[in-house]
Amino acid sequence: MLQIAFIRENKTEVIAGLKKKYFKDAESFVDKVIEIDQYRRDTQRLLDDILAQSNTKAKEIGQLMKAGQKDAAEEAKAVTADLKLKSKDLEDKLAALESELNETLVKIPNLPHYSVPEGRTAEENQNVFEHGSTPILHDGALPHWELIKKFDIIDFDLGVKLTGAGFPVYKGKGARLQRALINFFLDEALKAGYAEVQPPILVNADSGFATGQLPDKEGQMYFASADNFYLIPTAEVPITNIYRDVIVKEEDLPVKNVGYTPCFRREAGSWGADVRGLNRLHQFDKVEIVQIVHPDTSYETLDKMVDHVRDLLYKLGLQFRILRLCGGDMSFNAALTYDFEVYSAAQKRWLEVSSVSNFETFQSNRLKLRFKSEGKTRLLHTLNGSALALPRIVAALLENNQDKDGIKIPDVLVPYTGFDRI
């Protein structure tokens, strides 16, 4: 959430940033926020003035009573009673204005970093790095949704029986490949200095609000109505919320956490080639890296997190590219995002496997996540990234490493799988 003082003092910059993200009616919306804030501040000043008058009168009544001037004291009491009524009305008005201001502020997305390219759609994202060449597959090569049937390693029909569409069952070497990838990603993060946590996969509404999933993404999350809990869309939510309402010691920065969780998304897309098989699921596994850092170092940290994900894809031997997202394709919360896509040789298309983002103070303002520096309390910067999401990684590994007799497992995974072929 943007800070109202920043909006008030940087109106032109805020409007330009919102327009870059294609936020509807940016100028009028910012004017509305500033207007509500002005009413709030004016009301606060009136309330402060009346409370000061009331305190003065209270002292005056005491002095009059000591002096035996009961009539004057009674008159002063009548004035005090009137001031209390006025202060109560102003307190109610102030509470309503603060509520209206907060409800309006949470609708404003984060501002994009200056390096974010102009553009409305994914086609306008900026390709900043590309590695590898497209594998040449044998005649009759299959997409992964056919390969998994051929080798009986992932069963979508069984998932429909147990739950519904978008909930696959991993079997045999398919299950072992999942576990191998999870352990490999976790081990690589531990080597990079991340501390592992295993958080809950259900969170309360306060957690959803603090990281920006609520009130923006209710429709994308599964909701357990009996307990008012949400199934997490990503481990970012519980891991970052570990530090909600926390003042971190400056000497303890950066905070680096990694966690594996299943993730849940209600909206898995409509039927079509782009969402077949593992391309889009309601439940999937993901390893997430999260950092909480000093504001002065967050973009250096973002580059290091991008390098970490890049190294994972190098080791898996996948062709990939890195995209800097344009303003119109960025998430509500992010100031700058890099997407990683791997190339699927059988599908002949790019598949997104990771987003790595800097949120600057947008989440920490909601989280009340701060640190003290030179006697002042300041907001920290939060960052996270998929390192990595499994489904499309598995799809690309199966498709790109297939031959006429089976599928070769990347060398780096063999110690984890215990086999080198499917």
Same domain, 362 and 275: yes
> What CATH number is given to the structural domain containing 229?
3.30.930.10
Same domain, 139 and 50: no
What per-residue confidence (pLDDT) applies to 268? 54
Indicate if the pLDDT at residue 195 is higher than 70: yes
> What CATH number is given to the structural domain containing 101?
1.10.287.40
Residue-wise pLDDT tens digits, 365-385:
999 999 998 889 999 999 999
User: How many folded domains does the chain comprise?
Assistant: 2
**Residue 113 falls inside a structural domain:** no
Binding site for ATP: what residues are annotated? 265-267, 352-355
Can you give the residue range of the structural domain that contains 90? 4-105
> What integer is the mean pLDDT of 240-264?
98
Same domain, 151 and 234: yes
Residue 342 or residue 276, greater confidence: 342
Same domain, 198 and 262: yes
Give the orientation angle of helix 26-66 with respect to helix 70-105, to 10 degrees.
160
In single-letter form, the type of residue at position 238 comes to P
Measure the CA–CA gap between 46 and 11, rounded to whole angstroms: 26
Same domain, 176 and 255: yes
Its pTM stands at: 0.93
Q: Are 222 and 230 in contact (CB under 8 A)?
A: yes
Residue-wise pLDDT tens digits, 282-319:
999 999 999 999 999 999 999 999 999 999 999 999 99
What per-residue confidence (pLDDT) applies to 36? 98
Residue-wise pLDDT tens digits, 160-174:
999 999 999 999 999
Residue-wise pLDDT tens digits, 259-284:
999 999 997 554 455 679 999 999 99
Kindly report which listed range (68-77, 122-131, 276-285, 295-304) carries the lowest average pLDDT score: 68-77
Contacts of the segment 156-164: beta carbons below 8 A, 24+ positions apart:
156/277, 163/283, 164/282
Measure the CA–CA gap between 393 and 307, rounded to whole angstroms: 17
Residue-wise pLDDT tens digits, 3-53:
999 999 999 999 999 999 999 999 999 999 999 999 999 999 999 999 999
Which has the closest alpha carbon to 337: 291, 300, 385, 298? 385
Same domain, 79 and 135: no
Same domain, 97 and 134: no
pLDDT bin (cut points 50, 70, 90) of residue 217 is confident
Binding site for L-serine: what residues are annotated? 234, 265, 288, 384
**Residue 111 falls inside a structural domain:** no
Q: Are 231 and 199 in contact (CB under 8 A)?
A: no
**Residue 400 falls inside a structural domain:** yes
Binding site: what residues are annotated? 234, 265-267, 288, 352-355, 384
Measure the CA–CA gap between 222 and 166, rounded to whole angstroms: 13
Residue with tokens 């002949």: 348
